Amino acid sequence: MNLRKILTYVEDIHAEGGRPVGPVARTAVVLAVIENPWAGQGFVTDLLPGIDEVAPQLGELLAPRVVEALGAPVEAYGKAAVVGLDGEVEHGSALIHTLKFGDHFRKAANATTLLPAVEKRAVAGGVFDIPLKHITDATVRSHHQSIEVRVPDGPRADEIVIGLAAAAQGRPQARLAPLATEQ
């Protein structure tokens, strides 16, 4: 894996809807900007060798960092892959939609649900939203949220931005009834 840089964002929301949030609502994101392992190779039919090499390294690198940045037990989580213009969305999907990547985060967060994801192709500096859901029950509405992030100089055309996001709580001031009330 050719890593160019790692970015860490922490957002603390102190007020929402004109009211204080207590405790403060914290969300953390860790992003790795890497060289696309399939860049310059034309259409690659078998992505597995690149997946086997890169995905576990990314999961091992990012999962503990996002949990540490959050500084609290993880209640909601998500992932992202943003591919530079010379790559395919499939390249990002290949790295994040494998247990070799995701299980590192599940273990670090004591999670059991699927990790929600965003995958897209974008120019450097493109904005993307990472969706988050509850770590053990994806039907918990209060934890359905997203966080907007960007890498000012990435992904370059031959790069991929891979990210993990974690929240210590649901949305600030969440007040929707449980999904079970509609069934």
* Residues 23-47 pLDDT 10s: 999 999 999 999 999 998 999 999 9
- Long-range CB pairs of 40-44, under 8 A, 24+ apart, other chains included: 40/86, 40/158
Q: Could you tell me the CATH number of the domain that includes residue 37?
A: 3.30.1330.110
Q: What type of residue sits at position 83?
A: V
Q: What type of residue sits at position 9?
A: Y
Paired tokens of 32: 């790795």
Q: Give yes or no for a contact between 174 and 141, defined as CB atoms under 8 angstroms apart.
A: yes
Paired tokens of 57: 């390294």
Task: Summarize the confidence of residues 48-69 as an average pLDDT.
Answer: 98
Model-level pTM? 0.95
Q: Structural domain tally of the chain?
A: 1
Paired tokens of 35: 């060289």
pLDDT at 162: 98
Distance of alpha carbon 116 from alpha carbon 67, whole angstroms: 17
Q: Give yes or no for a contact between 77 and 105, defined as CB atoms under 8 angstroms apart.
A: yes
Tens digits of per-residue pLDDT, 85-143?
999 999 999 999 999 999 999 999 999 999 999 999 999 999 999 999 999 998 899 99
Paired tokens of 55: 């995905």
**Helical residues (DSSP H) of the chain, grouped into ranges:** 48-70, 89-96, 99-109
pLDDT at 44: 96
Paired tokens of 81: 């892959």
* Buried residues in 161-175 as b, exposed as e (16+ CB within 10 A): bbbbbbbbbbbbeee
Q: Give yes or no for a contact between 56 and 148, defined as CB atoms under 8 angstroms apart.
A: no
For residue 179, name the pLDDT band (cuts at 50, 70, 90).
Answer: confident
Mean pLDDT (the chain) is 96
Q: DSSP letters along 95-138, please? A: HHSSHHHHHHHHHHHT--SPPPEEEEE--TT--EEEEEEESS-T
What domain range includes position 69?
3-182
Please state, as a whole number, how many other Cβ atoms lie within 10 Å of the Cβ of residue 181.
Answer: 8
